Structure 1
């Protein structure tokens, strides 16, 4: 008799199961990717938005560059002091060893000549006068020994203090180097992000962005004639020829026009903003500190309507950029990475103040 029972369903196994699982996984991944693409898709920024972001990143990078410059200056100072302390410790240690040797020789001599007691020495003396002379000698030797011991102790203390101070400067130097590494990473990160944003622009859009910060040509009469190529003109307004220190600083800055901006650079072939002004005034025989926020306090503050050629002009609320005023509302400055030293209007950036180096 035929059976009417429903045949048992055998569970899937083997290659069939693996094929089905793979198909489902791929389908799920495709769906997830589709949703992820929709949820994470970023609208394309307009050229104006990209320019604003790049400007912000460059400003942040320049602020970090000035912090880097300040930390490097302090690290260099700590390293010089540490070297001096190590040299001093070595010299003091040599003197200490010399004093120890002298003390050892003196102690050995005392042992050889003064090991007998006073009564025995008196008994061995041929006459009282000989004993008295020997006693006086031993007294003087004892005084000398005490002085030598005190000298060695003092030198030990001096060496210990110098070594302790050197240890402190070494710890400070290590901290400065850590700060330098962190700040360098911050600067390079900002610049890399700015570069990626600019790469999203078309060639025409990038050219338009660059044209915004192109230098102005300044005629001999001092009148701006408009934007030129970022390489900067060599025919900018001539420096004053009065032989003053300001004139010599401006002449140096004119000679640097067209040289590349490199963050942290102080010349001779590249500069950052404060590196340029420092080098220009150094050529005039004036020593300026390294950073924008210290240069602004290095001379006499001057009002904007009292500017004279050679003055340092500062920008942004954090005093993170500086240029060298050359007259007629113009300055020479190193603007930002990717650019060159150039002439630009003073009113092209947010004003922060001005100072006149002494």
Structure 2
């Protein structure tokens, strides 16, 4: 006959077993796993959008700093030229004073060679007028440059303030990524494999629908020399991990990869997927060729390198590595050409 303590221990053991079974069932439930997958996609997508905004803000700050530096250099050069011309004009005035400061008419009347005096007077007058005109122009240019510099400096301050505000968003990005990684880590190994299988199956289904349209018969198959270099460099990055904000050489985010492979091909393009979409030449999907970039999602939050035969190389998201994937595995926004 069981004692009260034995009965209590048995009850605890049974409760633990039921809890474990319930947890396993919850993770194994296809609907629950689908919900987990949807949450992961949302977290990573939001992190990707915020990442591009932050990186884009950094690019704008750097570009504006460069512009302000150039404008300041031009102001300094204008100031130096004005100082030089002012000094020359002062020297000419002092020389005229030392010579008696006679007006040109009197110099003409007293000169032994009136023709020579007239020529000298004419040249002197033209030189003075030219100097005055140049100084007037330089003064106007200096004021214009100062105004432009002040405007650019003001914009720089606004951009820097905006980027400081984005630092808080940057911390949120890291929290979102950490939350997604924690969510994945809590899945048992079989569920992780099933999660990957779900991703792969959805990609295959989307690719099959895309290919069924006959699109691959229209898309170009030959890359330009620069495009071949970009593809070759991207191929050498396969297997390197995704790291938020990274642009090589040991890890990449999506646009860090595309910008660096094209830089290796001798073509400098914007750093972020949003700027790549905004500033590079758009081409129709059916006119795409290997080496072009496919931009994904309505907010241009992801980008990949098209390598031909309906395939891309991209850096997917945290927890994944640079890999080859079907081109239509995500919602295509459009195509841009770095070497247009």
Normalization by structure 1: what TM-score? 0.65
Of the three residues 313, 329, 339, the one matched with 1:332 is: 313
d(CA) in 2 for partners of 1:320 and 1:265?
15
Aligned pairs for 1:1-358 (under 5 A) are: 49-115=35-101, 128-130=110-112, 136=118, 141-196=124-179, 198-199=181-182, 203-205=186-188, 208-209=191-192, 212=195, 244-296=225-277, 297-303=280-286, 309-357=290-338, 358=340
Shift of the 264–181 alpha-carbon distance from structure 1 to 2, 3 Å rule, reads farther
d(CA) in 2 for partners of 1:94 and 1:210?
69
| Offset of residue 102 of structure 1 | 0.8
| Offset of residue 59 of structure 1 | 0.8
Q: What's the secondary structure of 2:325's corresponding residue?
A: strand
Deviations 1:222-276 (CA, angstroms, capped at 9, x unpaired): x9xxxxxxxxxxxxxxxx9998443322221111122232333333333221221
d(CA) in 1 for partners of 2:224 and 2:141?
51
Unaligned runs of 5+ in 1: 1-43, 218-222, 224-239
Given that 1:292 and 1:322 are in contact with CA atoms closer than 8 Å, whether structure 2 keeps it comes out as: yes
Deviations 1:102-158 (CA, angstroms, capped at 9, x unpaired): 111111122232346899x79xx9x95549689745665455434333332222222
Given that 1:265 and 1:271 are in contact with CA atoms closer than 8 Å, whether structure 2 keeps it comes out as: yes
| Offset of residue 321 of structure 1 | 0.6
Q: Give the greater-gyration-radius structure (CA).
A: 1
| Offset of residue 70 of structure 1 | 2.9
Q: What's the secondary structure of 2:74's corresponding residue?
A: helix
Shift of the 56–111 alpha-carbon distance from structure 1 to 2, 3 Å rule, reads same
Q: What's the secondary structure of 1:256's corresponding residue?
A: coil
Deviations 1:277-336 (CA, angstroms, capped at 9, x unpaired): 122233334443333234345252213xx7654342232222211112334543221112
Given that 1:198 and 1:206 are in contact with CA atoms closer than 8 Å, whether structure 2 keeps it comes out as: no
The number of residue pairs the alignment matches comes to 287
Shift of the 149–80 alpha-carbon distance from structure 1 to 2, 3 Å rule, reads same
CA RMSD of aligned residues (A): 3.9
d(CA) in 1 for partners of 2:38 and 2:142?
58
Unaligned runs of 5+ in 2: 1-25, 205-220
d(CA) in 2 for partners of 1:283 and 1:134?
67
Shift of the 110–247 alpha-carbon distance from structure 1 to 2, 3 Å rule, reads closer
d(CA) in 2 for partners of 1:63 and 1:49?
21
Shift of the 138–245 alpha-carbon distance from structure 1 to 2, 3 Å rule, reads closer
| Offset of residue 356 of structure 1 | 4.9
Deviations 1:28-66 (CA, angstroms, capped at 9, x unpaired): xxxxxxxxxxxxxxxx99665454333212211211222
